[in-house]
Amino acid sequence: MNNRNLEYIKKIGPKSYYVLHFQDAFYRINLSYMEYLSLIPATALGYLTFRATTHPTSRIRRKLPNIKVRRLQIFPVIRIYIFGRVFHLHHWFNFSLLLILSAFISFGILDYMFTKGLLLGGIIQGLTLPKEHRKLIYRDFSVERLTTTGHTR
């Protein structure tokens, strides 16, 4: 203990100091439990939201516009077309990176337990898709590629 704590103990009495210290520690423990309890509904909300918006057969996903600039598609999915291959950065892959980074670096909105729950729900939803839908790299069989390069595969 430092001198400031000793002076405070002398001022209020040793029993009162330990009672206040215990109450403060108990409050912090309860607060952390409440934060972690908010993780459960946030994870469920994230799972349901991403199931409704990113599932391959989703009506909402089919209505979203495609934003593509040359070899880079950024909406509704992130795809990079290069060397006759498509690199598909899935939402669950991106969310995993964000969740890991948020454990080490403070990112503002990523510090909230609710946001971490949404990310966790998105990761769980993405990993519950069939294996065919989780491929990160696959061959580019687009019509543009086949007609511009002259390949007839």
Q: Is the pLDDT at 29 greater than 50, yes or no? A: no
Mean pLDDT, residues 28-53: 81
Long-range contacts of 82-86 (CB under 8 A, 24+ apart): 84/139, 84/140, 84/145, 85/137, 85/138, 85/139, 85/140, 86/137, 86/138, 86/139, 86/140
Average pLDDT over residues 64-83: 86
Sequence ranges of the domains in the chain = 1-35, 38-149
Q: Looking at residue 112, what is its pLDDT?
A: 86
Q: Is the pLDDT of residue 152 over 90?
A: no
Q: Is the pLDDT of residue 63 over 70?
A: yes
Asked if 140 and 86 count as a contact pair (C-beta separation under 8 A), the reply is yes
In this predicted structure, what is the pLDDT of residue 96?
93
Decide if pLDDT at 7 tops 80: no
pTM, entire model: 0.66
**Mean pLDDT along residues 85-113:** 87
